[in-house]
């Protein structure tokens, strides 16, 4: 029984309505475990989804509703195709956004040096002065707040009708995610694919943490070129070098000047030394091909570190480090004259520097410029410019580059292998693969995965502390995998006692947490319960699809491919379904402020979940889509129409019998073709076409077919032909509802329940053979033509009535159908239906080259109007 269990009798409400369907059916689906994953099925019969875990510290906006609907449509289709759908839901509650939200919400700040206070209770209202709490206390607050957020999210997802298995949830800060993150990391470490190194690192001075290349963004900022003179070291006054810089405050960090090897202006100076203004520090003039003769004066100041190019020069020219920026962004104290800070006039240098030490970069810049002006080393006035500056995407101040000890995961060596993985993956739409290749080809360094933050997955290891109390980072103490997850700030390495923490001869925990992407990149492993539930893992991994938006191809998609490549030497999924964004009507990305005005729940309540899903499903893979409440209204109308048309079809379903009438066969044959195309399209993630075609078919079903068979189904042409109509109606309705079910889960379930015991979402996806029934295909081409012919004649009659502004129930005195002989030959098949539907009293035919219908209406009754006063 493809349709599921039939009820013993059909019950149709008098006035079917959409109101309340969301509550009614979400409760039923939950009670019936309609979307529960059947884990008895082998991998070949499973369709598994690597659902994107939304960031719970943010709020859900229209874009989420949009893209999650796409995934749900495909998941529902696969379920109806007979697959056991593994459709988990994760919550991304790990990382900086949560930290910030918790700080503001509770009025606390994390101080990792404090001990855990089990009796700590957060105040009702956040105090003005933030309360310092320990890392475990802080994490408890994070967990508490995210748990509340997750409830709100889950409610919205259920209301939207996502067919998620709510037994299968995870959180990126949860125990499982921590264990898997740590496990994968330890294995990478053992294989030499993760390593720790002290090196220049991108650094956010507000969050005081390292960040990764993938988390950068450019912002246009005002700045200025300052031309500064460096005197020659040997005192030859005529010789000096002028440079342009936008960061004069880094002058004390200058370690060399650089120009292009072929630049004739500077060739004589290569190998000589110059003296920094203000500080009198001797720095060499060097040659490097990355220096651009066209920029500024052609010579540049190399500082440790002003930008990424400085790092390259520093490394390739073997220059020393002379760092001045501290982790908090302020200039650190420096003693001129000491090693590394030798000066030709240490007292003068110190006097200048003391005025900027402790200042932020921006304030120091102002002061340094004043000093340069006073000393006469600033040539001309600063020339204002606007230039792009690198920011951490969540940060407020430009990134600095600091030398620090960080963990990295090897990526640069894997480029070729990753490009091959990208080609192996099936992208929807295919052109999104180019984004991936672009990113891989543009990688500038290995992935920095350590963050100097608190609410994240800790690195699961310790270091030995030497007899002198210093940490020996080479002497790592690694736990056994069985101990994971663990927190080295509270857990103790094997063979040590808690009192030995941070003591000479004892141990110290790694202080950092992992980049949130280092955990998110393991979502397939987390959802599939890697190394915990081997049976489940084998049934769902590698997964079938990763749905996600295009802006995080460089992060989430790339990182996940990388981790799976390392952990399994395989792709984590076969398909990547890339969704677009929701745009404001003015074509800008839907802004957060606007997203908050138009809340998803408000939209769902106003237009109905089916109406909103209808709009969402009109957005093709990869294509940005305009926010359009008009389409939601259209979707809602479609849902209402489904209720009413279904009511009509089911109102009179007896007798049933063989489908023999031409238009009936034509209807089912057309529908069979749609079923075939829809199945193919959905297999290829082309869901928009399926909705369009099905909708278009459904409207012509209502407008033409229903009108044509209205009389016959009640027995006007005898029981056999009534049976033909009723069977065709019921067959078509059943198939259409199932075609609509992935898109409009609520209204289709409601209608289905009028005559079925079980859920439409567990029903079998329709097939062409089922729709055509026994003997299908015999006369179907003729049937399709007959139906189209009849609809065309009916349309001509309506047009005439409309033109003459007469009611549609006006009888037709004479209808002359002129058409080619082949068409006219179909007339006997449809004549009775046509006469009834068009109220045609006399039907004549004549041969003609093209179809043309001449309609003469019966004379109108004289209209008697009351005389106007």
Partner RNA sequence: GGGCGGUUAGCUCAGUUGGUAGAGCACCGGCUUUACACGCCGGCUGUCACAGGUUCGAGUCCUGUACCGCCCACCA
**Residue of 239, 626, 814, 824 interacting with RNA (CB under 7 A):** 626
Q: Which stretch binds RNA (CB under 7 A): 269-277, 465-473, 593-601, 806-814?
A: 806-814
3-state helix, strand, coil in the chain (%, to 5): 45, 20, 35
Q: Which stretch binds RNA (CB under 7 A): 48-56, 155-163, 618-626, 664-672?
A: 618-626
Of these, 39, 574, 589, 653, which contacts RNA (CB under 7 A)? Answer: 589
- Binding-site member from 563, 575, 620, 713 for RNA (CB under 7 A): 620
- Which of residues 142, 281, 299, 331 is near RNA by CB under 7 A? 299
Length of the chain: 869
- 795 binds RNA per the rule CB under 7 A: yes
Q: How far is the CB of 480 from RNA (least distance, A)?
A: 39
Footprint of RNA on 531-570 (CB under 7 A): 550-551, 554
Tell me how far apart the terminal alpha carbons of the chain are, to the nearest angstrom.
68
User: Among candidates 331, 272, 327, 263, which has minimal Cα distance to 298?
Assistant: 263
If the CB atoms of residues 484 and 736 are measured against RNA, the closer one turns out to be 736
The burial class, CB within 10 Å (0-12 / 13-18 / 19+), for 597 is exposed
Q: How far is the CB of 576 from RNA (least distance, A)?
A: 14
Q: How far is the CB of 789 from RNA (least distance, A)?
A: 15
Contact flag: residue 623 with RNA (CB under 7 A): yes
What are the residue ranges of helices labelled H in 459-499?
none
**Sign of the torsion formed by the C-alpha atoms of 717, 722, 728 and 732:** positive
Q: Which stretch binds RNA (CB under 7 A): 106-114, 336-344, 624-632, 764-772?
A: 624-632
> Any contact of residue 861 with RNA (CB under 7 A)?
no
- Would you state the structure tokens that stand for residue 505, as one six-digit string? 């001869």
CB of 608 to RNA, least distance (A): 9
> Looking at beta carbons only, is 134 or 521 nearer to RNA?
521
User: Closest approach of Cβ 271 to RNA, in Å?
Assistant: 18
* Subset of 169-228 contacting RNA (CB under 7 A): 213, 216-218, 223, 225
Q: Determine the Cα–Cα distance for residues 171 and 294; give it in Å rounded to an integer.
A: 52
Number of residues lying near RNA (CB under 7 A): 84
The torsion angles phi and psi of 509, rounded to 5 degrees, stand at -75, 150
Chain residues 423-442 in contact with RNA, contact rule CB under 7 A: 431, 434-435, 438-439, 442
Selected from 235, 807, 862, 867, the binder of RNA by CB under 7 A is: 807
By C-beta, is 434 or 570 nearer to RNA?
434
Containing H/E element for 561?
helix 558-568
Cα–Cα distance between 349 and 428 in angstroms, integer? 61
If the CB atoms of residues 171 and 291 are measured against RNA, the closer one turns out to be 291
User: Which segments of 716-809 does DSSP mark as H helices, in order?
Assistant: 719-740, 745-753, 768-772, 780-803
Cβ closest to RNA, residue 574 vs residue 589: 589
Residue from 55, 98, 184, 246 touching RNA (CB under 7 A): that is: 246
Cα gap 581→437, rounded to integer Å? 21
Q: How far apart are CA 579 and CA 603, in angstroms?
A: 20
CB atoms within 10 A of CB 215: 22
Residues 459-498 that bind RNA (CB under 7 A): none
Among 80, 183, 255, 301, binds RNA (CB under 7 A): 301
* Residue 265 lies near RNA (rule: CB under 7 A): no
- We find the least distance from the C-beta atom of residue 132 to RNA, in angstroms, to be 36
Binding flag, residue 782, RNA (CB under 7 A): no
> What distances in angstroms separate CA 285 from CA 263, 279, 303, one per listed residue?
13, 17, 13
Closest approach of Cβ 349 to RNA, in Å?
22
Let me know: does 418 contact 564? Beta carbons within 8 Å: no
Q: Which of 452, 507, 456 is CA-nearest to residue 479?
A: 507
Q: What is the 3-state secondary structure (H, E, C) of 305-368?
A: CCCHHHHHHHHHCCCCCCCCECCCCEECCCCCCCCCCCCCCHHHHHHHHHCCCCCEHHHHHHHH
Would you say 291 or 616 has its CB closer to RNA? Answer: 291
Window 334-393: residues binding RNA (CB under 7 A): 387-390
Beta strands of 64-126 (E only): which ranges? 84-86, 89-91, 108-110
Which window, 138-146, 352-360, 696-704, 741-749, contacts RNA (CB under 7 A)? Answer: 696-704
Contact stretch for RNA (CB under 7 A) within 25-33, 646-654, 660-668, 821-829:
646-654
Q: Are 245 and 225 in contact, with CB atoms under 8 Å apart? A: yes
Q: How far apart are CA 326 and CA 330, in angstroms?
A: 5
Q: Which stretch binds RNA (CB under 7 A): 31-39, 112-120, 531-539, 804-812?
A: 804-812
Query: Which one of 38, 111, 307, 345 is in contact with RNA (CB under 7 A)?
Result: 307
Position among 145, 251, 300, 667 found at the interface with RNA (CB under 7 A): 300
């Amino acid at each position: 029984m493809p349709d599921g269990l039939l009820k013993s009798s059909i019950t149709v409400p008098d006035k079917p309505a959409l109101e309340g369907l969301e509550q009614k059916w979400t409760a039923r689906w939950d009670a019936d475990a309609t979307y529960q994953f059947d884990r008895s099925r082998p991998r070949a019969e499973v369709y598994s989804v690597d659902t994107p875990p939304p960031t719970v510290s943010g709020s859900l906006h229209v874009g989420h509703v949009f893209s999650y609907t796409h995934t749900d449509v495909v998941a529902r289709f696969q379920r109806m195709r007979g697959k056991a759908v593994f459709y988990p839901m994760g919550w991304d509650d790990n990382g900086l956004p949560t930290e910030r939200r918790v700080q503001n919400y509770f009025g606390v700040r994390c101080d990792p040096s404090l001990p855990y206070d089990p009796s700590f209770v957060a105040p009702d209202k956040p105090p003005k002065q933030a309360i310092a709490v320990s890392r475990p206390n802080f994490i408890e607050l994070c967990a508490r707040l995210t748990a509340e957020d997750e409830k709100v999210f889950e409610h919205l997802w259920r209301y939207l009708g996502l067919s998620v298995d709510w037994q299968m949830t995870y959180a990126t800060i949860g125990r499982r995610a921590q264990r898997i993150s740590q496990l994968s990391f330890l294995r990478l470490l053992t294989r030499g694919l993760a390593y720790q190194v002290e090196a220049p690192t991108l650094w956010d001075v507000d969050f005081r943490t390292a960040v990764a290349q993938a988390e950068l963004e450019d912002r246009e900022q005002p700045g200025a070129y300052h031309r500064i003179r460096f005197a020659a070291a040997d005192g030859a006054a005529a010789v000096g070098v002028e440079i342009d810089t936008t960061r004069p405050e880094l002058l004390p960090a200058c370690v060399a000047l650089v120009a292009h090897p072929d630049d004739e202006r500077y060739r004589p100076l290569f190998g000589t030394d110059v003296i920094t203004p203000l500080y009198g520090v001797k720095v060499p003039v060097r040659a490097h091909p990355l220096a651009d003769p066209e920029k500024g004066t052609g010579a540049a100041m190399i500082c440790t570190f002003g930008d990424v190019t400085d790092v390259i020069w520093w490394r390739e020219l073997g220059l020393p480090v002379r760092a001045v920026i501290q982790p908090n962004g302020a200039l650190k104290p420096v003693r001129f004259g000491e090693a590394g800070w030798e000066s030709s006039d240490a007292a003068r240098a110190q006097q200048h520097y003391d005025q900027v030490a402790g200042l932020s970069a921006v304030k120091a810049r102002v002061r340094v410029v004043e000093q340069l002006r006073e000393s006469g080393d600033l040539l001309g006035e600063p020339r204002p410019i606007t230039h792009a500056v690198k920011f951490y995407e969540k940060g407020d101040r430009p990134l600095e580059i600091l030398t620090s000890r960080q963990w990295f995961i090897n990526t640069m060596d894997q480029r070729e292998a990753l490009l091959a993985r990208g080609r192996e993956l099936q992208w929807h739409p295919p052109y999104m693969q180019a984004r991936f290749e672009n990113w891989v080809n543009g990688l500038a360094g290995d992935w920095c995965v350590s963050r100097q933050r608190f609410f994240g997955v800790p690195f699961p290891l310790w270091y030995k502390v030497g007899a002198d109390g210093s940490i020996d980072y080479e002497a790592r103490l690694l736990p056994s995998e069985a101990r994971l997850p663990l927190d080295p700030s509270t857990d103790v390495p094997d063979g040590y006692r808690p009192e030995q923490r941070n003591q000479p001869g004892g141990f110290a925990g790694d202080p950092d947490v992992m980049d949130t992407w280092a955990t998110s990149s393991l979502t397939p492993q987390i959802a599939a319960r890697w190394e915990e539930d081997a049976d489940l893992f084998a049934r769902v991994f590698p997964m079938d699809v990763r749905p996600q938006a295009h802006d995080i191809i460089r992060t989430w998609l790339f990182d996940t491919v990388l981790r799976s490549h390392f952990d399994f030497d395989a792709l984590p999924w076969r398909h990547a379904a890339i969704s677009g964004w929701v745009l404001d009507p003015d074509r800008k990305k839907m802004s957060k402020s606007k997203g908050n005005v138009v809340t998803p729940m408000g939209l769902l309540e106003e237009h109905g979940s089916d109406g909103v899903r209808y709009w969402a499903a009109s957005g093709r893979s990869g294509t940005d889509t305009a926010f359009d409440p008009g389409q939601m209204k259209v979707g809602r109308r479609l849902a209402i129409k489904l209720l009413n048309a279904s009511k009509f079809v089911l109102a009179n379903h007896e007798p049933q019998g063989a489908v023999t009438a031409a238009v009936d066969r034509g209807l089912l044959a057309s529908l069979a073709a749609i079923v075939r195309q829809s199945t193919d399209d959905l297999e290829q993630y082309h869901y928009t076409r399926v909705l369009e075609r099905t909708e278009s078919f459904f409207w012509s079903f209502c407008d033409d077919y229903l009108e044509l068979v209205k009389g016959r189904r009640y027995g006007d042409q005898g029981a056999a032909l009534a049976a033909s109509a009723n069977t065709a109606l019921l067959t078509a309705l059943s198939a259409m509802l199932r075609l609509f079910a992935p898109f409009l889960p609520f209204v289709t379930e409601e209608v289905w329940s009028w005559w079925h015991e079980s859920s439409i979402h567990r029903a079998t996806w329709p097939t062409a053979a089922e729709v055509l029934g026994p003997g299908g295909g015999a006369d179907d081409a003729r049937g399709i033509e007959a139906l189209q012919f009849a609809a065309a004649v009916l349309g001509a009659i309506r047009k005439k009535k409309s033109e003459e502004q007469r009611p549609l129930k006006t009888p037709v005195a004479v209808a002359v159908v002129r058409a080619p002989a082949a068409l006219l030959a179909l007339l006997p098949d449809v004549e009775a239906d046509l006469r009834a539907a068009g109220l045609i009293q006399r039907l004549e035919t004549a041969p003609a080259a093209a179809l043309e219908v001449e309609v003469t209406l019966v004379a109108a009754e004289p209209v008697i109007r009351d005389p106007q006063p």
